[in-house]
Structure 1
Amino acid sequence: MTDPIKVVLVEDSAVALQILSRLLDSAPEVNVVGTAQDGNEGLRVIAQTMPDVICTDLQMPNMDGLEFTEKVMKDFPRPILVISNSVHPSDVDNIFNLMQAGALDFFPKPNSGSATDYEILKKTLVTKIKVLASKKVG
């Protein structure tokens, strides 16, 4: 068996951070090695943990997801998955800007739902992380 994929979560909502951590911690192929509540803290956690994949929110205090993505790609190039309610397929400007900055994919922020939704969310999120972990960036 291969080593679990190391993931850092950067999310300012404590509830969303808890849901994402719980989702990913229940998947044996993923290991959440660090969490942060804004981009500045996220950069410090990334420097300490050197994850395989970074999952970040778009709207955060101090440093938003776009600026965070730009700094990560400059200093610690890693695959980035943006998890946000602010990015929808119809939101071409945000998606274009994030892709230009280096983000590779997008995922809607989960909310607490039914157990069926939870399993579907988990499977989709873990699949995206596995695909991103195989990509070379930088």
Structure 2
Amino acid sequence: MAKIKVLLVEDSAVAINIYEKMLSSSSHIEVVGKAKDGKEGLALVAKLNPDVICTDLQMPEMDGLEFTKQVMAKYPTPILVLSNAVQKSDIDNIYEVMKAGAVDVMAKPQTALGGNSDSMQNELIVKIRVLANKEVTAIPLS
């Protein structure tokens, strides 16, 4: 079976490394690209045609919400928003990115705060495996 191709869009090098480490533990997933903002991410989506995109919300150049809108208009792809801005209390942010076409959200792993990174890793891998099978349709830019 082909590996699930994942594109990571995140301006924190530390977070990218953590995600990459978590995802590389799965034999089903391959990180095919990394971008530090939405603008760079958009160029990579066109080139790499990933199965799933993981993006942060708060980034320079083009934030995750705008990035999600652009991707869903041009290259509909399942998007998982991995961000500090999608904690359970961030209803508005979650609503906005879901409306823009993101399929799921997940709060950034708080591993530095003594969080359980194993359960985080499992949750991330499961989400990506589920999202890889989701059919998404284009959402025209309004």
Shift of the alpha carbon at 1:90?
A: 2.1
Distance in 2, Cα, partners of 1:50 & 1:137: 14
Q: Where do 5+ consecutive residues of structure 2 fail to align? A: 138-142
The answer to which of 56-65 and 116-125 deviates more is 116-125
1:84 is aligned to 83
Shift of the alpha carbon at 1:121?
A: 1.3
Q: Where do 5+ consecutive residues of structure 1 fail to align? A: none
Q: TM-score, normalised by structure 2?
A: 0.91
Distance in 2, Cα, partners of 1:51 & 1:94: 24
After TM superposition, list the pairs within 5 Å mapping 1:34-49 onto structure 2: 34-49=33-48
Shift of the alpha carbon at 1:115?
A: 9.6
Give the secondary-structure state (helix, strand or coil) at the position aligned to 2:127.
helix
Identity %: 53
Q: Cα RMSD between the aligned structures?
A: 1.6
Distance in 2, Cα, partners of 1:91 & 1:116: 20
Distance in 2, Cα, partners of 1:108 & 1:84: 5
Distance in 2, Cα, partners of 1:113 & 1:58: 20
Distance in 2, Cα, partners of 1:28 & 1:57: 24
Distance in 2, Cα, partners of 1:40 & 1:21: 20
Paired letter, 2:71: V
Paired letter, 1:20: Y
Paired letter, 2:116: D
The alignment of Structure 1 onto Structure 2 pairs a total of residues equal to: 137
1:69 is aligned to 68
Change (3 A) 1:27 1:116: farther
Q: Deviations over 1:76-125 (max 9, x none)?
A: 10000000011122221111111110001111112445998222111110
Q: TM-score, normalised by structure 1?
A: 0.94
The answer to whether the Cα contact below 8 Å between 1:80 and 1:104 also exists between their aligned partners in 2 is yes
Shift of the alpha carbon at 1:3?
A: 1.1
2:53 is aligned to 54
